[in-house]
Structure 1
Amino acid sequence: MKTRYVIYLLLALLIGYLIYNKFFSDRAKKIQASDTKGKGKGKKNGPVAVRLMIAKDTVVDNAIDITGTIDANEKVSLISETAGNITGIYFQEGSKVKKGQLLVKVYNQDQVAALKQNEYQIALAKQTEYRNKILLQKEAISQQEYDTSLTSLNTLQAQSDVIKAQIAKTEIRAPFSGTIGLRNVSPGGYLSPNTAIASLVNVDPAKVTFSVPEKYLPLTKVGSKVNFTVTSSNKNFKAVVYAIEPSIDVTSRTITVRAKAANPDGILQAGSFAKINLQLDQTPKTIMLPTECVVPDLKSSMVYVYHNGVAVARPVKTDLRTDTKIQITSGINVGDSVVVSGIIQMRPKVALKIIKVIK
């Protein structure tokens, strides 16, 4: 029994020694003092080094980047109004043709013969009408007999016009100047009204068709300037808006706009994808700040300005955006010193150290 008490006593003395050595000895006090100093130093922060920008009025071209499609100025699929065997093809695939140029001819000899026969009949009817007119003046025949001869002449002339129209349908001519595509017919083949002969395209000028969001409708006008590029060329092209769809698309809430671009070299091809920069208007006086200095918030956006050596948060309203800048419509005044770097470290009333001022 005594031995057990002695062991308990020794254990208690050992625990007490360890506690004293850890918390109350000179060494423990030095360690605590060192930790306290280290914590005090860690809490102490110096001023944040920042760059400032002096807010000023800027002239801004209001433009939006959208996509569109290059369309031909005129495009048609050539077909025949009449059926028959092809007697001649008078164009080369991929060549340029002039308006009214004969492209394809269909067999029409029977109609030509009918026209010749009709012309003989017209010549005879003219003589008959002339003789009857003389006789009528001499009262040798009645008015009815003369009217009959005149009607016969007019009927034959009308028949002649019908035959000429039928012959004209056997000659397919270019409705406008342009470039003709690949042909789908051959000489001697049978051509029906459902057969597409080839496509004819005019791409000078080229049309640029694109859609503009509804909110920009008041700023989109006939005469607005358009800059665009296409994948097939490194050249920058210019166009001018000439027509605007009078109604808004209810699905996309956009309005279709069309512009014309000069294309004398034929670089622009119908169906090409276009990257478009549409100039809407010009804002003569507004404040533009780097996008990175505007901090988004739940209710609004916020910008930090330098005032009396510390950062001051200013709620702002924004509008137009470019690749690198954003328009400030309210909250910042001309002459304010706006913080444009170290934004992650910004808090209200944080001390600031200016390393550069951008004017």
Structure 2
Amino acid sequence: MRTRYIIYIALALLVAFLVYNKFFSQKAKETAALNAGGGKGDKKKGGAVAVNIMIVKDTAVSNIIDVTGSIDANEKVSLVSQTAGNITGIYFTEGSRVQKGQLLVKVYNQDLEASLQQNQYQVTLAKQMEYRNKILLQKEAISQEEYDTSLTSLNSLKAAADVIKAQMSRTEIRAPFSGTIGLRNVSPGGYLSPQSPIAQLVNIDPAKITFSVPERYLSIIGKGSKIRFNTETSRENFSGTVYAIEPAIDVSSRTATIRAQAPNPKGLLTAGSFAKINLTLDQIPKTILLPTQAVIPDLKSSIVYIYHNGTAITRAVKTDMRTDTKIQIIDGLKPGDSVVVTGLIQMRAKVPLKVVKVIK
């Protein structure tokens, strides 16, 4: 019996502890206070939302896209020889400026010079023979056939001389255009073959800028369009003019390759450099621009919130061009509308608004 009483007393004490902990402890009081405060917060949440609004107006804007491209030389060639032989002379300095037609490298050709000299003796003799036969033909001392034979012999020797001169010209490597010559890969006395690269010749004034744009812009880009660009190697801003457009679209990227020219008198642009290009497509005289955060993507379109008689109303809009901070509205707004640009997290239709600032 005594054990039973002890158990009953223990159970009673446990129940009393649980009741006290739920209704009278400090934690219970804090929870009740928090619930009471939450009710007041709900009422406060139902109040007006403080916002900034922007008065819509027409703005002139340039339709500009940013793309990347590469800088190429106007002309670039790897110099090689058309004939094989030992190098007898090198007539350029690495990294120097050379002019079109300037002699750069010469290959051994003394055997050809000797052949040409021998040919000249034969041509002189053939000329004399042709002249004598011409006089004799006029006096009818020889036949026409004999004269034709001497004339043919003279012309054959002249043609042989032209062949030797062409062979000799191949032993001289000259600059095909004016430009800067690079590092040479040959030395005097070395054996030069048609497969041996001598040096690279580059002309980069003007420079070529090659880049690609989406095909939808092709209708507003043409020869004469202006571009602006900069490079990693210079702090200067450069400008160029489009002069050629690839006639076919790249089927994998759906882009068109475009090439522009830019003057480079100071040599600040280097072939192979990376270019950040700013391309102005056209000028839009009147359009509406909003801050990007003011336009909220929706399932079917985009929406903005309009301030109207102290409350927010939704308005579906159509967008087009975007920049880093602005977005173009082409339908759904008119000048004078008041667009909500802050407090959008709390925004919904018919919520009361309190205007803090008006942006004009």
The one-character-per-residue Cα deviations of 1:22-43 (angstroms, maximum 9, x if unpaired) are: 99xxxxxxx9x98897454222
Aligned residues: 351
Cα separation, 1, equivalents of 2:96 and 2:38? 85
Cα separation, 2, equivalents of 1:316 and 1:273? 38
The one-character-per-residue Cα deviations of 1:64-86 (angstroms, maximum 9, x if unpaired) are: 11110000000000000000000
1:318 aligns with 2:327: no
Say if 1:284 and 1:135 are closer, same or farther in 2 by CA, change over 3 A.
same
Structure 1 stretch displaced more, 66-75 or 221-230:
221-230
Cα separation, 1, equivalents of 2:304 and 2:152? 92
Cα separation, 2, equivalents of 1:141 and 1:233? 80
Cα separation, 1, equivalents of 2:154 and 2:142? 18
Quote the residue 1:108 is aligned against.
Answer: 109
Cα separation, 1, equivalents of 2:139 and 2:164? 37
- Counting only pairs closer than 5 Å after superposition, residues 262-341 of structure 1 correspond to structure 2 as 262-341=263-342
Superposition CA RMSD, Å: 2.8
Q: Name the SS of the counterpart of 1:217 in structure 2.
A: helix
Cα separation, 1, equivalents of 2:203 and 2:172? 21
Quote the residue 1:43 is aligned against.
Answer: 42
- Counting only pairs closer than 5 Å after superposition, residues 97-176 of structure 1 correspond to structure 2 as 97-176=98-177
Structure 2 residues without counterparts, runs of 5 or longer: 24-29
Instruction: Write the letter of the residue equivalent to 1:154.
Output: N
Q: Name the SS of the counterpart of 2:122 in structure 1.
A: helix
Q: Name the SS of the counterpart of 1:186 in structure 2.
A: coil
Quote the residue 1:28 is aligned against.
Answer: none
Cα separation, 1, equivalents of 2:327 and 2:78? 48
Structure 1 stretch displaced more, 128-137 or 194-203:
128-137
Instruction: Write the letter of the residue equivalent to 1:80.
Output: S
Say if 1:309 and 1:154 are closer, same or farther in 2 by CA, change over 3 A.
same
Say if 1:84 and 1:36 are closer, same or farther in 2 by CA, change over 3 A.
closer
What TM-score do the two structures reach when normalised by structure 1? 0.91
Instruction: Write the letter of the residue equivalent to 2:213.
Output: V
Cα separation, 2, equivalents of 1:148 and 1:213? 70
Cα separation, 2, equivalents of 1:34 and 1:113? 116
Quote the residue 2:255 is aligned against.
Answer: 254
Cα separation, 2, equivalents of 1:179 and 1:111? 31
Quote the residue 2:349 is aligned against.
Answer: 348
What TM-score do the two structures reach when normalised by structure 2? 0.90
**Offset of residue 89 of structure 1:** 0.1
Cα separation, 1, equivalents of 2:289 and 2:263? 34
Cα separation, 2, equivalents of 1:39 and 1:183? 83
The one-character-per-residue Cα deviations of 1:267-316 (angstroms, maximum 9, x if unpaired) are: 11100011111111111111010111111122221111111111111111
Quote the residue 2:239 is aligned against.
Answer: 238
Cα separation, 2, equivalents of 1:93 and 1:304? 67
After TM superposition, what 4+ stretches of structure 1 lie above 4 angstroms from structure 2? 33-40
Q: Identity of paired residues, percent?
A: 72
Cα separation, 2, equivalents of 1:60 and 1:312? 28
Cα separation, 2, equivalents of 1:110 and 1:358? 88
- Counting only pairs closer than 5 Å after superposition, residues 173-252 of structure 1 correspond to structure 2 as 173-252=174-253
Cα separation, 2, equivalents of 1:134 and 1:326? 93
**Offset of residue 202 of structure 1:** 0.3
Say if 1:85 and 1:37 are closer, same or farther in 2 by CA, change over 3 A.
closer
**Offset of residue 182 of structure 1:** 0.4
Q: Name the SS of the counterpart of 1:311 in structure 2.
A: strand
Instruction: Write the letter of the residue equivalent to 1:74.
Output: E
Q: Name the SS of the counterpart of 1:234 in structure 2.
A: strand
Quote the residue 1:26 is aligned against.
Answer: none
Instruction: Write the letter of the residue equivalent to 1:59.
Output: A
**Offset of residue 190 of structure 1:** 0.5
The one-character-per-residue Cα deviations of 1:75-120 (angstroms, maximum 9, x if unpaired) are: 0000000000000000000100000000000000010111111111
Cα separation, 1, equivalents of 2:238 and 2:177? 25
Cα separation, 2, equivalents of 1:185 and 1:174? 16
Cα separation, 2, equivalents of 1:62 and 1:40? 52
Q: Name the SS of the counterpart of 2:236 in structure 1.
A: coil
Q: Name the SS of the counterpart of 2:235 in structure 1.
A: coil
Cα separation, 2, equivalents of 1:167 and 1:245? 41
